[in-house]
Amino acid sequence: MVEEKDPEKHEQTEEKDDELVVPEVPKIPEVPGVTSSEKVEKKEVIPEAITPQKEEAEEEQIEKDKSEEEIESESTEEEAVDRKETEKRGKLEEIEEEPLSLESEGLSEAEMAASEGELPLDSDLVEPEEEEPAPPPPPPEPEELNLQIETRAELQGTAKIAPNDAERMLVKKGDIIVAEDPITGAFCAMKAHIDPELETGTVIMDEEVFAASGIGSDEALVRLFEEEGISLDKVTLAVSPLTGEDVFPVIMDLRKSRSALKDYLEQYLVFKGLTLRWSEKNVAIKIESTDPKLSIGDVAYFDFTKKRVLTIKPDGVVQFNAVLLIDISKSMTGRDMDVKNVRPALEGIRSAFEHEKLEEFLENFKEGTMVSRKVAAAFAGLLYLSEKVGRGFGETVSIITFADEAQILEVKGKPYINTASGSKGVMNKLAGLIIENVVNKAGVATNMGAAIEKAAEVRGKFPRSKRGNPTMIVMLTDGFDTSNQVKAMVEEKFAGETDIVLYTVGLGPFVKEEELQQISEICGGEAFQPEDLEELLAWYGQRARDLSIQLSER
């Protein structure tokens, strides 16, 4: 049964619904100075009435919108990640197509690393630190080996070692090896030669070198010599015959065999105390002194590709004649020789001579004063004679003065004297002649050529018993040769004479050093320039005792 609606009630309800509350719209305030025509027209907005149903619907809509926004936010984050992944893959595809360049592509080093597979795609692009390269392994250290020693002749300064030993010592052919006695410290050095047939643990040494080393055992510690060898500028060799007693023929033979001597020496390394036995020349050669000086453990070598000074002297005492040439030209009166440390020379001269003029002459030599070159030359001549007397061999000495011409100082009609101790009267007479002729006479020129000619003459007048002895000639001057013949005269009279040695001594600032050096080298001597009287006397004293021959090699 359908219930019928009451029309009156229905109308009342509709009227109730139509009764809405309309809020009052505020009036726009008047703006001063603005006319009615300029007023902004404003559309009246009547807000819609809010019912409970609408309010509930709006809340539902708000909740729905929030839910959709959260879903959309999550979707947006996922899309951003996907987009980032896509961009990365796009960059990698571009990198595969074109070479990467940090500057052109704007990529970091970390992104470069990722493109080359060094970093995973999903890792943070952090630039890696550069790693330092690993240091190379240290080189192997050479070993020192205790080897059994064998010796053999004619190895020319070399030693043979086995390949295995050479490998352990890091030795190559031609390297320097040294052998040392661990008990005594005796030492020697040789150039290595690797012998593939030699048994490991054995070294074969040159017997001359081994004998010179002083190693007293048949075993030694052998090692590579890692330091630089020392090149020798000057060497003095003391020589003696292997058989016989006469040393000077051996010296003369070496002088004539200069090139062979050089080749022989260059085969050997030099160490302190080395002595060689050259059987072909019947000579024992001892390294007496070197420049630079060598200490125990040093290794040196000869190098004659450059100018070197090689001096040969007898190993022991040898008798020799002497001729002293003294310049008495006017320039020799220059007083520039400083007197110092002459007491030993004064005592030697006083003990050798007795002459009325001697003490007066010796009064010139007071410490701290200056004497003339002529007085210094006379003093040096007297000292030389006194040293010869002291040796006691009765050697022959001649004195020649020169200026404009040369003059032999004769005693009792002879152009020489015998320096034996029994000839003291003759010695005193010669001392007086030196003082008188050197100190008190003078010439103008410096005729060195005439002096050399007189020296050759007087040498031929020596006693027959002394002619077999070598002769030392010493020329003292303060100038240069005014004859312009001295070099030619030396070559004419003495070149090729192996028993002649010529020394030159230059005093003062005007001496022509090159000229003196040239004529000295022709006859195996040397040119000497003393700084003062002390050096001059020391040199003359040494020359009176030792005869040496200087060989210069280029």
Is residue 96 left, alpha or beta, with left meaning phi > 0 and alpha meaning psi from -120 to 50? alpha
Provide Rg for the chain, Cα atoms. 56
Complete domains list, the chain, with CATH:
145-224 (2.40.40.20), 230-314 (3.10.330.10), 321-545 (3.40.50.410)
Long-range contacts of 30-37 (CB under 8 A, 24+ apart): none
The C-alpha atoms of residue 269 and residue 95 are separated, in whole angstroms, by 68
- The number of angstroms, rounded, from the C-alpha of 297 to the middle of its chain's C-alpha atoms is 18
Among 447, 449, 502, residue whose Cα is nearest residue 474: 502
Q: Is 217 helix (H, G, I), strand (E, B) or coil?
A: coil
- 549 sits in which H/E element: strand 549-553
Q: Is 139 helix (H, G, I), strand (E, B) or coil?
A: coil
Among 372, 427, 437, residue whose Cα is nearest residue 396: 427
- The number of angstroms, rounded, from the C-alpha of 335 to the middle of its chain's C-alpha atoms is 43
The C-alpha atoms of residue 554 and residue 467 are separated, in whole angstroms, by 33
Q: Is 505 helix (H, G, I), strand (E, B) or coil?
A: strand
Among 524, 530, 517, residue whose Cα is nearest residue 494: 524
The C-alpha atoms of residue 553 and residue 264 are separated, in whole angstroms, by 14
Q: Residue 243's pLDDT is what?
A: 92
> Greatest CA separation found in the chain?
198
Place of tokens 């002083």: 214
> DSSP labels for 463-497?
-GGGTTS-EEEEEEESS--SSS-HHHHHHHHHTT-
Long-range contacts of 482-487 (CB under 8 A, 24+ apart): 482/445, 482/446, 482/447, 482/448, 483/445, 483/447, 483/448, 483/449, 483/450, 484/449, 485/448, 485/449, 486/448, 486/449, 486/451, 486/452, 486/515, 486/519, 487/515, 487/518, 487/519, 487/522
Long-range contacts of 263-269 (CB under 8 A, 24+ apart): 265/302, 265/304, 265/310, 266/301, 266/302, 266/303, 266/304, 267/156, 267/157, 268/156, 268/157, 268/209, 268/302, 269/157, 269/176, 269/189, 269/190, 269/191, 269/229, 269/299, 269/300, 269/301
C-beta of residue 238 within 8 angstroms of C-beta of residue 314: yes
pLDDT in tens, 418-474: 998 667 889 899 999 999 999 999 999 999 999 999 999 999 999 998 988 999 999
| The two three-digit tokens of residue 126, written as one number | 């952090």
Q: What is the mean pLDDT of each run of 10 residues along the chain (554 residues)?
A: 45 45 49 46 47 64 63 56 61 51 50 52 61 85 96 93 97 96 93 96 95 91 95 95 90 90 94 92 95 94 90 91 97 95 94 91 95 97 94 93 97 92 83 94 94 96 91 95 94 91 95 93 93 96 92 60
| The two three-digit tokens of residue 288, written as one number | 């007496």
Q: Residue 235's pLDDT is what?
A: 95
| The two three-digit tokens of residue 39, written as one number | 């007023």
Question: Which stretches of 296-377 are assigned E, i.e. beta strand?
Answer: 300-301, 308-314, 321-327, 335-338, 370-372
The C-alpha atoms of residue 169 and residue 192 are separated, in whole angstroms, by 11
Query: What phi and psi values does residue 325 have, to the nearest 5 degrees?
Result: -105, 120
The C-alpha atoms of residue 523 and residue 551 are separated, in whole angstroms, by 9
| The two three-digit tokens of residue 209, written as one number | 């070198």
Among 367, 365, 358, 366, residue whose Cα is nearest residue 385: 358
Q: Residue 89's pLDDT is what?
A: 62
